[in-house]
Amino acid sequence: MDSLLLDFGRNVHAAGLHIQNEVQLLHRTMNMGTGGRTNRRSFEFGRTYVVKPKGRHQATIVWLHGLGDNGSSWSQLLEALPLPNIKWICPTAPTRPVALLGGFPCAAWFDVGELSEDSPDDFEGLDASAAHVANLLSAEPADIKLGVGGFSMGAATALYSATCFAHGRCANGSPYPVNLRAIVGLSGWLPGSRSLRNKIEGSHEAARRAAYLPILLCHGNSDDVVPYKFGEKSTQFLGSAGFRYVSFKTFDGLGHYTVPKEMDEVCHWLNGRLGLDGSRS
């Protein structure tokens, strides 16, 4: 166990470097102005990293990185977690111009201009990423429990995937083909929150799916990149829209990064919600 924790610490540090890169990238460009939204075009997703289960395969979770990162750093961290029954799929976002960065291209699941309740959502980008996640999960065996998780922009995409699952389709009308059993979002926010409640309440089937999908949100109250209030408000929006099983965990003093204590919470929650065999290898 000591060696596992040591490995986990090393991988947290490795992932932390990528997370810190995201923080620096955002801070360097906050004062550049959001500029206009870029013209839409097709983007190719980057490399996908897979962490195979060390024990009996019971669940598969697609984990999504933050802005400017890639799937490799998170695959290293996730491989060290005491969750031997989970297969992790860690894709890399397309490289695309990002309005928040003045149009500078970097790995991003969707375009974003600024983090505010009034900023428009890039549903084209969100739909493309949600469809990519669903496609990765659709190849899993029928008896495997499926989930989506992520950090920062990856968490936002995971939460958007939850709303697509509840609706049964994405914003562009494309069917959402997989049955999600768990959603995890770290230091993120909920895109499309303004119209979520009406969409869920307008469909009995959507309300049913939303009511039984468990969601874990974690956020540090010292986050100066994605403010803590976005985590709080996302939880409120989800609850008011009919997602009954939303857990919100606050981490005192935590900035825009993850720590072992937070990942311990993720492990405990996933074991309980997915009914895994536990931490036996």
Q: Where are the beta strands (DSSP E) in the chain?
A: 49-51, 59-64, 86-90, 95-98, 104-107, 145-151, 180-186, 215-220, 246-251
Burial 107-118 (b: 16+ CB within 10 A, else e): bbbbbbbeeeee
Characterize the bridge pairing of strands 104-107 and 95-98. antiparallel
| DSSP for 92-131, written as a single string | -PPEEEEGGGTTEEEE-SS--S-SSTTSPP-HHHHHHHHH
Longest CA span, the chain: 51
User: Of 69, 122, 127, 223, which is the active-site residue?
Assistant: 223
- Please indicate whether residue 152 is annotated as part of the active site: yes
The alpha carbon torsion through 13, 62, 240, 242 (nearest 10 deg) reads: -150
Judging by beta carbons within 10 Å of its beta carbon (0-12, 13-18, 19+), is residue 201 exposed, middle or buried?
middle
Q: Look up 223 and say whether it is catalytic.
A: yes
Angstrom distance (rounded) from CA 179 to CA 71: 23
Q: CA gyration radius for the chain?
A: 17
- Give me the half-sphere count of Cα atoms (radius 13 Å) on the Cβ side of residue 74: 32
Set 152, 161, 193, 234: catalytic member: 152
Q: List, by residue number, the catalytic residues.
A: 152, 223, 256
